[in-house]
């Protein structure tokens, strides 16, 4: 890996390129949940810098908007309002902090025992499946446009070369937007009227304990995703960041970044596999380059024209990409079960997976002392509890 043999200009160019890789996914999340995309760019930049500060600047990671929270944010906003939802998202950072402490005290194995693949896989599947209806509803507002965006994303994913293959979402948005322009359905007036420079529309959280209880269980999936991403960057760079600076530090850095993002109205951030792929492709793993990418994110966040442009993207373009994206998230959950050789023929595993999926997809709600839990959060908690209380089958008995 190339580390310190690049000049400042070269690092700046590569840093801008890495932000380009993360740009599409980072701004897609706020567009889907009704947030200001410029806030997401700002929080991605600030969050990445916070992460690097906590991890002593050793880990080449970029943090962008987390897809795991799309469905929970939409649902929680309906129930508690957006400021209340932000309070719940702040609590997600606290979960990362607790997990960081547990990893430091008990080791990585403790997390694996608490959240095994039979729990994590179905929860990830549920995150994708719960959004399927939203994707279809957005796409059907203009099916031809949605199909153009979808096909572009699929083609780039399958046949793209080099860096192009790392930006299928961005490519789908660009081509879909061009097609929408040709169809004459894009209103450019907001872009014309927007200022060149404008601060993002920051929003402060408001205390809401119901939203906290609602959001905390959702953190299970991204916590596990974080661990996987750390091992992935280890493979790419040939270094062991799980040991130095330590998984407890990387997890704490991710959690604090989520807290900062939520305090100013942005979606929670997470480690971005797309940028790890770009590091693997370019062979440039200097953490300074990722910090430069973060600074570019902050710079773009104050460009009013950029924010206005993003808000003019037609709903159908986003819907077309969502058809693939949310199915992909569900497929990641299936892959987790397959890769870890989870036996769904085993009654114990079948019970846990079935209840997680049916409770989540069915929209089950339960109230405890005036606090209501539902959706992904409820399903995740049920899965964790079932995994802890249902005894493992005895191998001796299985062999009889």
Across 11-15, average pLDDT: 84
Helices (H), 283-390: 287-301, 304-311, 315-339, 347-361, 375-389
Cβ distance 383 to 125 under 8 Å? no
Taking the C-alpha atoms of residue 377 and residue 375, their distance in angstroms, rounded to an integer, is: 6
Q: Which tokens go with 355?
A: 């209840």
The 10s digit of each residue's pLDDT in 48-69 is 999 999 999 999 999 988 878 8
DSSP 8-state symbol, 370: T
DSSP 8-state symbol, 142: S
Which parts of the chain are beta strand (E)? 63-65, 269-271, 365-368, 371-374
Cβ distance 129 to 359 under 8 Å? no
The 10s digit of each residue's pLDDT in 36-49 is 889 999 999 999 99
pTM over 0.85: no
Look at residue 352 in the predicted model and tell me its pLDDT.
95
Cross-strand pairs, 2: 284
Cβ distance 227 to 33 under 8 Å? no
Across 177-182, average pLDDT: 95
The 10s digit of each residue's pLDDT in 180-213 is 999 999 989 989 998 999 888 899 999 998 899 8
Cβ distance 370 to 335 under 8 Å? no
Q: Which tokens go with 286?
A: 């200097």
């Amino acid at each position: 890996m190339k580390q310190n043999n690049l000049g400042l200009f070269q690092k700046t160019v590569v840093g801008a390129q890495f932000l380009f890789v993360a740009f599409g996914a980072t701004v897609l999340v706020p567009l889907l949940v009704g947030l200001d995309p410029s806030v997401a760019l700002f929080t991605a930049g600030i969050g990445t810098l916070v992460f690097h500060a906590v991890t002593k600047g050793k880990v080449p990671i970029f943090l962008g908007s987390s897809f795991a929270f799309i469905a929970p944010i939409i649902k929680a906003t309906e129930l508690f309002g957006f400021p209340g939802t932000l309070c719940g998202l702040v609590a997600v950072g606290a979960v990362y902090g607790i997990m960081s402490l547990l990893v430091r005290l008990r080791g990585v194995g403790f997390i694996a025992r608490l959240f095994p693949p039979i729990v994590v896989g179905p929860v990830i599947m549920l995150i994708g499946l719960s959004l399927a209806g939203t994707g279809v509803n957005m796409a059907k507002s203009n099916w031809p446009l949605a199909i153009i965006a979808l096909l572009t994303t699929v083609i780039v994913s399958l046949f793209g070369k080099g860096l192009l293959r790392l930006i299928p979402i961005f490519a789908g948005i660009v081509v879909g937007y061009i097609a929408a322009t040709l169809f004459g359905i894009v209103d450019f007036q907001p872009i014309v009227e927007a200022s060149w420079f404008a601060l993002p529309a920051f929003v402060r959280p408001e205390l809401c304990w119901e939203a906290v209880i609602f959001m905390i269980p959702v953190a299970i999936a991204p916590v596990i995703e974080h661990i996987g991403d750390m091992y992935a960057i280890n493979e790419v760079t040939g270094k062991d960041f799980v040991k130095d600076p330590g998984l407890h530090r990387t997890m704490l850095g991710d959690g604090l970044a989520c807290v900062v993002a939520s305090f100013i109205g942005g979606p929670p951030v997470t480690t971005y596999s797309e940028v790890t792929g770009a590091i693997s492709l370019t062979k440039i793993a200097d953490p300074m380059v990722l910090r430069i990418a973060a600074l570019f994110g902050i710079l773009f966040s104050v460009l009013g024209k950029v924010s206005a442009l993003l808000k003019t993207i037609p709903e159908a373009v986003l819907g077309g990409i969502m058809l693939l994206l949310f199915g992909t998230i569900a497929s990641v959950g299936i892959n987790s079960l397959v890769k870890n050789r989870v036996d769904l023929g085993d009654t114990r595993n079948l019970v846990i997976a079935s209840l997680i999926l049916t409770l989540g997809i069915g929209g089950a709600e339960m109230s405890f002392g005036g606090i209501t839990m539902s959706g992904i959060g409820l399903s995740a908690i049920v899965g964790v509890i079932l995994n802890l209380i249902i005894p493992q089958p005895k191998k001796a008995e299985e062999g009889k």
